[in-house]
Amino acid sequence: MAKSTIDSRRRALIGAGLTALTPFAALAALTPTPRQTAGPFYPVELPLDDDNNLTMVRGQTQPAEGRIVDLTGRVIDTSGKEMKHMRIEIWQCDARGIYHHPGDRRRGTQRDEKFQGHGHTITDNQGRYRFRTIHPVPYPGRTPHIHVAVFLPNSRPFVSQIYVEGEPRNSHDFLYQQIPVEKRHLVMMDFATENPEGIPTGNFDLILVQKSY
């Protein structure tokens, strides 16, 4: 057999070997989602209506202002194992850029009372969660983001922020810039797909270190 043919077969075998190794490589620890500050606007008092649909507030007849989106994903550990039955919360400013928080001086009559501001849910047996909210908007000094927290037994909550892919304000946001460049994809999301209801949907998985729960 010609040497070149043998070489090509060896290369094919090496390639096959690498392919066969892929499942083992997948077992390597995943990089955890970077933590970020909760910021000053975590609710002092949780709203009475605090479910996972932030776009409809009990007692209001109209939905929240802004572009309605779904936010879905999983909470997993660094081995890829689902973290089920975990309380996950999100909070963000309304479509006018105002937090429903006494520390936001622009609140009061200016705020959108039809937006819930904060919501929570519990991850299911596969670690999945789902929220309906509004596409995050900028407010003075910050690029658009959604705050997120996962409450862990016997540990402090995991807290971070979710950013929007392709948002030009990210490049000069002081909190986003604190995240190492190689980890920024772990706090990034887009709303490029639509769910069966035609609502733009973003997928965001949270990867938490095992020792934290």
Closest to Fe ion by CB, 83 or 143: 143
CB of 178 to Fe ion, least distance (A): 14
CB of 11 to Fe ion, least distance (A): 52
Residue among 132, 143, 130, 145 nearest 205 (CA): 130
CB of 92 to Fe ion, least distance (A): 7
State which of residues 34, 39, 63, 138 lies at the interface with Fe ion (CB under 5 A).
39
**Cα dihedral sign for 182, 188, 194, 195?**
positive
Distance from C-alpha of 117 to C-alpha of 55, rounded to nearest angstrom: 9
Distance from C-alpha of 40 to C-alpha of 66, rounded to nearest angstrom: 23
Of all residues in the shown chain, the one whose CB is closest to Fe ion is 39
CB of 62 to Fe ion, least distance (A): 24
Candidate segments 37-45, 61-69, 172-180, 192-200, binder of Fe ion by CB under 5 A = 37-45
Distance from C-alpha of 132 to C-alpha of 135, rounded to nearest angstrom: 10
Closest to Fe ion by CB, 42 or 83: 42
Closest to Fe ion by CB, 47 or 80: 47
Distance from C-alpha of 124 to C-alpha of 85, rounded to nearest angstrom: 6
Lookup result for tokens 């933590």 = 35
Interface residues toward Fe ion, by CB under 5 A: 39
